[in-house]
Chains A and B, each alone.
Chain A
Amino acid sequence: MAAEISEARAALAGVSSEPGASKPDPIVTGSNITRTFGGLKAVDVDKIEIQRGVITALIGPNGAGKTTLFNLLTGFDEPDAGDWSFNGKALAKVPAYKVARLGMVRTFQLTKVLSKLTVIENMRLGATGQRGEKFFSAAFKSLWRSQEDANTARADDLLQRFKLDEKREDFAGSLSGGQRKLLEMARALMVDPELIMLDEPMAGVNPALKQSLLGHVKSLRDEGRTVLFVEHDMDMVRDISDWVIVMAQGQIVAEGTPQSVMADQRVIDAYLGAHHDTDITNIDLAELEQEAEAELAAESNEETPS
């Protein structure tokens, strides 16, 4: 197993660090994907390939279009144009649930646990191919009991691994923010995905938990899964990712190994912001304020009930 991984990593060694570089064994490929909101081009990706069997980090400043790209790839949103495929299967117009069934499962930046279900019920929901979820067999318990027991056993294993076994019977709504992130990740694993896409798995998680989460993410790769994750914490990115893709203003601006990317001037400009080396007193305050407001607006759009 370990040999395989370093093989996968080694394969990346020869890859150029140009944006949209071709990979030797891509699990996801996409080209010319664009998505606009009003006048804003949120995503404008010429080419993207994700290598199989490694951990790829997707980084970029707030509003770069990372979450939007996730939504597009997983069928939660429709692009204005573009093709992309998973394991060679074209995914344009494929609905989100089918994408998940193909083995490409994502989590959400704002966690979506089912707060009025217990933790274990959340987990059981993740299992695929359940007989008891078919309308006509649901009413007869004997038809699905054994399968349900097997799923429960698997769920309990995962809960133990993610240290949630003590919360098994609690309502998911009572979990802390970090625990929700864990639950969501564990639940996604119930689907048994080939590619797991994590949107900011570490946001709001305390340092101690972060370490164990890092371990979990690595163990996913060691199981042979492919991981694509969005993260703002550079330490973590440096720590666990095998490859880094940088987005800014909807475009992929750089790619490469963590070390090379972090040394890249374009990345520093795009990510650390144009202001990072400017004297703070020279910054146009109005402009800053505007930026902050736009961001807040974007964020509360997500939360505003409507």
Chain B
Amino acid sequence: MRLRLAALLAAVLGIFILLPSASASAETTPTPSPSAGGAAPQQNPIVEGANITVTLKDLNEGKGEPKPIPGVTLTVLKDSKTGEELGSQVTDQSGRVSIGIPGNGTYVVELDPKTLPSGVKLSGAGATTKTVQVKLASSNFVTFPVGARVIEKASKASEIVDGTRDGLKTGLLIALAALGLSLIFGTTGLTNFAHGELITLGAILTYIFNRGVGLPVIFAGVLAVLASALFGYLQDRGLWRPLRRRGTGLIAMMIVSIGLALLMRSIFQYGFGGSTRTLSEYVTQPRNSYGPIDLSNKEIAIFAVSIIAITVTCVALMRTRLGKAMRAVSDNPALSASSGMRVDGVISSVWILGTALTGLAGVLLAVQQQVNFNMGFNLLLLVFAGVTLGGLGTIWGALVGSLIIGLMVELGPVFGVPASIKEVGALVVLILILLVRPQGILGKAQRIG
């Protein structure tokens, strides 16, 4: 029996500004073709959100292809071997387990040697535990190779499927916020740099209603959207309307919004602290397979909610009186005013609708990942990119642009963009498209003279 086993644990933890996109990585043990011990599950999907994912493989002393080892039990514990158990799983046919974790900290991964196939031993000193330090730095994609090279590589096709799923999800979240931004820009001309903070507001309010008040997440989310809408109304009444009355220029207003962004962000940090926190429910969820697509229940909910919200908004803008008024003001404020429309009232409604949509983006983002004082600011540039790409101020443009940006971000890594800087691809595309169409994809050219 040539049994010299290399046991390697590699945990990869993917957290990223927009969506946790979990990633798999390698691990190994050597040995003769394991006769699938016990009840090895068909497939353990990678858990949504922060997770530790381990793949066990038999390195076979470097001879031939490494083979996955199914049927081995692995347990993740908090802090130490005696700490709280966070989850235990049996490796699937691909030798993989994926266990969700709540956030930053030290974790211990324990392998039950009794479940190893006979003849397989762990390599080195035969240690059955590995300690993993997890740091969810804002946009870092952290890898902790605990031994060996990363072996597992998903097939290109499944990478594309996963990337498209994540891309659409990101794109929809961006689209919600972008729709808000675009509505406000369209009617008032304001390039609102404080828009990211409206996303954060939605998320933090959800956290407060959930953890502070103790409401279920769904309730908390609904309240947060309503509160965001109220805040939008107050913001317009208290700040922007008086500025419009004074005839403050658009660039001055834009700089005011930069000040407001800084103010709000600092207040969030003051009250909420610099840490990243989770809601009480739906933090980690396994994904189920639907044909080729893996989706967790909360992802399905996010898709559903955002698509419904966007559709309802668009239909409302097309069909209702108020919607028509909004589009009229957005096309031509002077004419609308002169034809007896209450422009101020319309703008108020736009702020309410815009901030509600943006708040909803924040709520969904809080469910999707975690809550942080700076999450909206980190997303702002992508929201701007989506809106700009579509052509500033056009509703359809904002939608199309956001989806393109979302897909670019998530599919970029599949086509060679380094994963740690996957936003770069989307931003480069933004610049390239503006090179060809300076007014954005759906924007109108301006009249001269």
Contact = CB atoms under 8 A, between A and B. Distances in A.
Interface stretch (B64-72, B100-108, B328-336, B397-405): B328-336
B304 interface: no
A109 B449 contact: yes
B189 A67 contact: no
29 contacts: A67-B449, A70-B449, A71-B448, A71-B449, A76-B449, A77-B448, A106-B449, A108-B449, A109-B449, A199-B449, A293-B335, A296-B335, A296-B338, A297-B331, A297-B332, A297-B335, A298-B447, A300-B332, A300-B334, A301-B332, A301-B446, A302-B447, A303-B334, A304-B333, A304-B334, A305-B189, A305-B250, A306-B392, A306-B393
A153 B269 CA distance: 62
Contacts of B393: 306
B448 A76 contact: yes
Top-3 shortest CB links A-B: A300-B334, A108-B449, A76-B448
A300 B392 CA distance: 18
A110 B448 CA distance: 10
A244 B189 CA distance: 42
A199 B448 CA distance: 12
Among A199, A301, A303, residue most surrounded by chain B Cβ atoms (within 10 Å): A301
A110 to B, nearest CB: 7
A71 to B, nearest CB: 5
Nearest to B334: A300
Nearest to A293: B335
A35 to B, nearest CB: 12
B189 A300 contact: no
Interface size class of A (residues with CB under 8 A): 20 to 34
Contacts of B449: 67, 70-71, 76, 106, 108-110, 199, 302
Nearest to B249: A305
Given A67-B449, A306-B393, 5 more contacts: A110-B449, A297-B332, A297-B335, A304-B333, A305-B189
Contacts of B250: 305
Interface in A275-306: 293, 296-298, 300-306
A21 B447 CA distance: 30
Interface of B: 189, 250, 331-335, 338, 392-393, 446-449
A305 B189 CA distance: 8
A95 B216 CA distance: 63
Residue of A293, A303, A304 with most chain B CB atoms under a 10 A cut-off: A304
Nearest to B250: A305
Interface in A51-84: 67, 70-71, 76-77
Nearest to A303: B334
A302 B449 CA distance: 7
A296 B448 CA distance: 16
Contact of B447 (A70, A106, A199, A301): A301
A306 B448 contact: no
A238 B334 CA distance: 35
A75 to B, nearest CB: 10
A297 B335 CA distance: 7
Contact of A306 (B189, B334, B335, B338): B189
A70 B449 CA distance: 9
A118 to B, nearest CB: 21
A110 B447 CA distance: 12
Nearest to A110: B449
Contacts of A298: 447
A304 B332 contact: yes
B448 A300 contact: no
For A300, A302, A306, which residue has the most chain B Cβ atoms within 10 angstroms? A306
Contacts of A306: 189, 392-393, 446
Contacts of B334: 300, 303-304
Contacts of A109: 449
Q: Which of B335, B338, B446 has the most CB of A within 10 A?
A: B335
A304 B334 CA distance: 8
Contacts of B446: 301, 306
Nearest to B339: A293
B440 to A, nearest CB: 12
Contacts of A77: 448
Interface in A184-230: 199
Contact of B335 (A110, A300, A305): A300
Nearest to B332: A300
Nearest to B189: A305
B235 to A, nearest CB: 21
A289 B332 CA distance: 17
Contacts of B447: 298, 301-302
Nearest to B338: A296
Nearest to A108: B449
Contacts of A293: 335
Contacts of B189: 305-306
A116 B189 CA distance: 23
Interface string A113-148: 000000000000000000000000000000000000
A199 B338 CA distance: 27
Interface centre among A67, A70, A110, A300 (most CB of B within 10 A): A300
Contacts of A71: 448-449
Interface string A81-117: 0000000000000000000000000101110000000
A106 B449 CA distance: 10
Contacts of A70: 449
A22 to B, nearest CB: 28
Best-buried of B189, B393, B447 by chain A (most CB within 10 Å):
B447
A112 B189 CA distance: 22
Q: Which of B333, B446, B449 has the most CB of A within 10 A?
A: B449
A16 B448 CA distance: 34
Contacts of A305: 189, 250
A302 B446 CA distance: 8
Contacts of A76: 448-449
A161 B447 CA distance: 33
A1 B332 CA distance: 51
B438 to A, nearest CB: 13
A306 B333 CA distance: 11
B255 to A, nearest CB: 16
Contacts of A297: 331-332, 335
B332 to A, nearest CB: 5
A210 B393 CA distance: 42
Contacts of B335: 293, 296-297, 300
A293 B393 CA distance: 22
Nearest to A96: B448
A51 B335 CA distance: 40
A305 to B, nearest CB: 6
